[in-house]
Amino acid sequence: MTPGDELERSEIEAVLETRRELGLRYDAELVDGFADRIQAEVERRVGNEVQSRDARQAAQKSAGARQLALGIVSLIAGIPITAISLGATESGDLSFFTLVLSWGGITAVNLAHALQARQSRS
Structural domain harbouring 114: 9-121
Question: What's the confidence (pLDDT) of residue 47?
Answer: 92
What span, in angstroms and rounded, lies between the C-alpha atoms of 65 and 46? 30
What span, in angstroms and rounded, lies between the C-alpha atoms of 11 and 3? 16
> pTM score > 0.75 for this model?
no
Q: In this structure, is residue 56 part of a structural domain? A: yes
Q: In this structure, is residue 39 part of a structural domain? A: yes
Q: In this structure, is residue 41 part of a structural domain? A: yes
Question: What's the confidence (pLDDT) of residue 2?
Answer: 47
Q: In this structure, is residue 4 part of a structural domain? A: no
Q: In this structure, is residue 1 part of a structural domain? A: no
Q: In this structure, is residue 31 part of a structural domain? A: yes
| Higher per-residue confidence, 73 vs 96 | 73
pLDDT in tens, 56-91: 888 777 777 888 888 899 999 999 988 888 877 676
36 burial (CB, 10 Å; 0-12 / 13-18 / 19+) is: exposed
Question: What's the confidence (pLDDT) of residue 98?
Answer: 85
pLDDT in tens, 7-54: 677 877 787 787 777 777 777 777 788 788 888 889 999 999 999 888
Q: In this structure, is residue 2 part of a structural domain? A: no
Question: What's the confidence (pLDDT) of residue 103?
Answer: 92
What span, in angstroms and rounded, lies between the C-alpha atoms of 40 and 23? 26
Q: In this structure, is residue 109 part of a structural domain? A: yes
What's the domain count of the chain?
1
Give the pLDDT band (50/70/90) at residue 3. very low
